[in-house]
Amino acid sequence: MFSSEQLREKYFEFFKQRGHQIIPSASLIPEDDTTTLFIGSGMQPLVPYLMGKPHNLGKRLVNVQKSFRAEDIEEVGDSRHTTFFEMMGNWSLGDYFKKEQLNWVFEFLTKELKIDPQRLYVSVFRGNKDIGVDRDLESAVIWKDIFKKNNLSFKDVDFAEEKGMQDGRIFYYDEFKNWWSRSGIPAKMPKGEIGGPDSEIFYDLGAELKRHENSKYKNQPCHINCDCGRFVEIGNSVFIEYIRTDKGFEPLPQKNVDFGGGLERIAMVVQNKENIFKSDLFIDIIEKIQELSNLQYTDNQSAFEVIADHLRAATFIMGDDKGVVPANIEQGYIVRRLIRRAIRYGRQLNIQKPLWIQDISQVIINKYKTIYPELINNFDVIMDNLAQEEMKFSKTLEKGLKEFEKLFDTYQKDFKEFIIDENTLFDLYQTYGFPFELSIEEINKKRIQVGGIAISKQIEDNLLSLFREKIKKHQELSRTAAAGKFKGGLADKSEQTKKLHTACHLLLAALRKVLGEHVEQKGSNITAERLRFDFSHSEKMNKEQIKKTEEIVNKAIKDNLPIFFKEMTLTKAKQQGAIGVFDSRYGEKVKVYMIGKDDNLFSKEICGGPHMTNTGDLGHFKIIKEESSSSGIRRIKAILN
């Protein structure tokens, strides 16, 4: 049985032996990608290279990418879904293709990890005439050859979703199951988006678990893509070979391989568990929840899994070097939702210890601190925001309960069957942090008090569906707002905005001189009128510190220092003392902007631009406000005149 650490090592070593270079995980927060709030797959940061841009480490890469998918929040609690996960990936950028990839991934799983090949099944793309992409017979033939060499049956089956397994091992599915792009199915792909057919590998957890018989799918045929949970996907080889154009789907100049295997699911399989939360990646967290609640996981599976997953996800998002803290919009909205949902389930488990979510987060950090040192670097930010959020949520819960009393009094005058609509449910969620489940719980308490009857399952399901639609629309609005931003938090590309962006570099350098080298940029928003700059510092700046910072910046402006950049690898930039978020841009060349002369630099920072060419053009720098942004983060608003 392999530990998760051994699994990582084996994966890297296997592909290193086959000519791959190891690249680090990118940040969870996307850069120059407005299609999503978070990185949800290994391919997102590599899109330029999949489209043909040369990578300085070559055409064969391997990594484990931090990933987060908010759309899976409601799925957590079924033993196999998580929001945060690690995606094991290997990449061919126009080098090897289907034959090498499918043989290698099968060899890794069965020979290196000793997974029973009899339990493995695969899917391939059925084809779609409307988009001009044929059935993937090439992959099917390769799989048949692999299975034949390993003395396995290899019957291929189509329409298993209608007819069941039929003793098959190779299954054909449509684009809803066996096509991959960032946008989803081909019909949703915008012009310029890349994607292609894929071939997934499934592991059979065993008919003896009776997951199909005990699920809502029991009256439907069971097959490898059935959602009953008997079969779990552990790997997906995506063949990114198409780009959508005005003419439809055209071949890319290069054929790429993008493999993704969920570390959590593969760890579950190699550790002979039927549930990812029983693997070594989660067991310490589960045990801590048992200790805090005095309850057993086996009796409270769903609540334990929600707490473990959500606090792990929130810890990683806040602990990222581009860390996001709880807020009411964009990524911060998701972080707040995760934390509050975990607290709500802790309330259900009757956890009494104050600030208990910090205890869970510390267990998570201890588990991952060697692999992801940014969690230690941002430890105070994580802990402070968890504490603040727990205290805030406790207060809003009390206010929300009072609102329920008011609602109940209003409805009771008219009728005894207390039900509120999806708009009120959403308002309670937005204003008071009441998750849907908690609102239903309070509704039923009132109904039982008056009439002795809880709402029906049908009504609850209908309300939940309408509530989710409201959440979805809110998230889409958040994404639209995020998509309206330019690179680096710039509101536009005007000359004045460029000046204020350049002033941010001077401000960061000055703050590090005045407050200390612990100061790091944590965000910025720049318009033509002002700059807003967030930075790590735990205390309010006094008047003397603010004045000194202004003086240093204005001295740099008066000295008319040249501004220039050099391109170099991320490793070299770090070695030369450049500051910035070392967010794992895979070792390719980055721009390091320098202010001053080579032998006497005022600032050296990784940045994508745009900038002025010398500081003398900026004008006079003035700080107009210094305030708290969140726990451990201060915010400065400043102008140039």
List Cβ neighbours of 518 (8 Å cut-off, separation of 6 or more): 536, 537
Element (H, E) at 262: strand 248-262
Rounded distance between C-alpha atoms, residue 374 and residue 142, angstroms: 42
Our measurement of the distance from residue 464's CA atom to the centroid of its chain's CA atoms, rounded to an integer in Å, reads 24
pLDDT of residue 173: 96
Q: Which of 166-170, 210-214, 370-374 has the lowest mean pLDDT?
A: 210-214
pLDDT tens column, 270-292: 999 999 999 999 999 999 999 99
Give the residue among 139, 126, 160 at the shortest CA–CA distance from 236.
Answer: 139
Rounded distance between C-alpha atoms, residue 191 and residue 396, angstroms: 45
> Does the pLDDT of residue 585 top 60, yes or no?
no
> Does the pLDDT of residue 165 top 50, yes or no?
yes
Selected residue with higher pLDDT from 281 and 470: 281
Element (H, E) at 306: helix 301-319
Rounded distance between C-alpha atoms, residue 623 and residue 636, angstroms: 7
pLDDT of residue 492: 57
Average pLDDT over residues 79-95: 94
Q: What is the DSSP letter of 637?
A: E
CB atoms within 10 A of CB 270: 22
User: Maximum CA pair distance of the chain?
Assistant: 81
Tell me the whole-structure pTM to 2 decimals: 0.75
% of the chain with per-residue pLDDT over 70: 93
Residue 242 dihedral angles phi and psi, to the nearest 5°: -130, 155
Res. 28 pLDDT band, cuts 50 70 90: very high
Q: Which of 52-66, 347-361, 468-482 has the lowest mean pLDDT?
A: 468-482
Residue at 290: amino acid letter: Q
Average pLDDT over residues 203-211: 91
pLDDT of residue 491: 52
Rounded distance between C-alpha atoms, residue 519 and residue 508, angstroms: 8
Q: Which of 48-57, 491-500, 509-518, 594-603 has the lowest mean pLDDT?
A: 491-500
Please name the residue that has the structure tokens 């473990």: 308
Selected residue with higher pLDDT from 67 and 474: 67
Our measurement of the distance from residue 501's CA atom to the centroid of its chain's CA atoms, rounded to an integer in Å, reads 28
> Does the pLDDT of residue 83 top 90, yes or no?
yes
All structural domains of the chain, each given as residue ranges with its CATH number in brackets, are 4-278 (3.30.930.10), 283-483 (no CATH), 488-640 (3.30.980.10)
Average pLDDT over residues 604-614: 86
Rounded distance between C-alpha atoms, residue 80 and residue 233, angstroms: 10
pLDDT tens column, 482-537: 444 444 555 556 788 889 999 999 999 999 999 998 898 888 888 888 999 989 89
Give the residue among 357, 363, 361 at the shortest CA–CA distance from 280.
Answer: 363
Residue 490 dihedral angles phi and psi, to the nearest 5°: -85, 135
Please name the residue that has the structure tokens 């102008």: 639
Res. 458 pLDDT band, cuts 50 70 90: confident
Give the residue among 489, 502, 492 at the shortest CA–CA distance from 618.
Answer: 502
pLDDT of residue 602: 95
Average pLDDT over residues 596-619: 88
On the 0-12 / 13-18 / 19+ scale of CB atoms within 10 A, 24 is middle
pLDDT tens column, 329-386: 778 888 998 998 899 899 889 999 999 999 999 999 999 999 999 999 999 999 999 9
pLDDT tens column, 372-390: 999 999 999 999 999 999 9
What angle do the packed helices 495-515 and 543-558 form, to 10 degrees? Answer: 130
pLDDT of residue 558: 95
> Does the pLDDT of residue 103 top 60, yes or no?
yes
Q: Which of 148-157, 184-193, 381-390, 628-637 has the lowest mean pLDDT?
A: 628-637
> Residue 548 corresponds to which tokens in the numbers above?
């000194």
What mean pLDDT value characterizes the chain? 88
pLDDT tens column, 226-269: 989 899 999 999 999 999 998 889 999 899 999 999 999 999 99
Tell me the HSE value of 458 on the side-chain side, using a 13 A CA sphere.
0
Residue at 28: amino acid letter: L
| Alpha helices (H) along 164-261 | 175-178
Rounded distance between C-alpha atoms, residue 37 and residue 44, angstroms: 12
Residue 343 Ramachandran class (φ > 0 left, ψ -120 to 50 alpha, else beta): alpha
pLDDT of residue 259: 97
Most confident of 160-164, 205-209, 481-485: 160-164
Res. 415 pLDDT band, cuts 50 70 90: very low
Please name the residue that has the structure tokens 């308002």: 427
pLDDT of residue 584: 44
Res. 34 pLDDT band, cuts 50 70 90: low
pLDDT of residue 493: 64
